[in-house]
Amino acid sequence: MSNTALPSTGPWSQEATPSSDFRYIRYITDANARVIADVRYAEGAEQAENLANAQVLQNAWRMLEKLRTIEAQLASHPDASNGNSQVHLALCAARNGIAAASGKRDRAND
């Protein structure tokens, strides 16, 4: 099964949960203020770690956009198709990150 769906429109933000809700530490919302993720308290984790987890989730959309920018810039580099170059390896890493975020498998060293 191929997953071609795109993530919710960003930027995403964090919303504090009501103090009476002891299951979740944050909600992640999309650009339309829809809740797209509930960040739970990780068992045995300190609050700072839970907040850091929420921060990573909030910025996932931004990181995907940055990977797409990096891919576009590297793809036009003269060494992009040279399998031994650092540019090619960085391009593959960016493409693998995009594929992983899109639910596709890694594109091993294309």
- Give pLDDT tens digits along the chain (110 positions): 445 667 888 888 888 877 677 788 888 999 999 999 889 888 888 889 989 989 999 999 899 999 999 999 999 999 999 888 999 999 999 999 999 888 776 555 44
Q: Indicate if 68 and 40 belong to the same structural domain.
A: no
> In sequence order, what E strands does 1-110 have?
13-16, 24-29, 35-40
- Same domain for 18 and 53: yes
**Both 21 and 51 in a single domain?**
yes
Task: Answer yes or no: are the C-beta atoms of 35 and 29 closer than 8 Å.
Answer: yes
In terms of domains, do 23 and 54 share one?
A: yes
Q: Are residues 54 and 66 in the same domain?
A: no
| Coil vs helix vs strand at 50 | helix
Question: Which pLDDT score, from 0 to 100, does residue 3 have?
Answer: 52
Q: Are residues 72 and 40 in the same domain?
A: no
Euclidean distance between CA atoms 78 and 68, whole angstroms: 18
Do 54 and 21 fall within a single domain? yes
In a domain, 40, yes or no: yes
Overall number of domains in the chain: 2
- For the entire predicted model, the pTM comes to 0.75
Same domain, 53 and 75: no
Domain that includes residue 49, residue range: 13-58
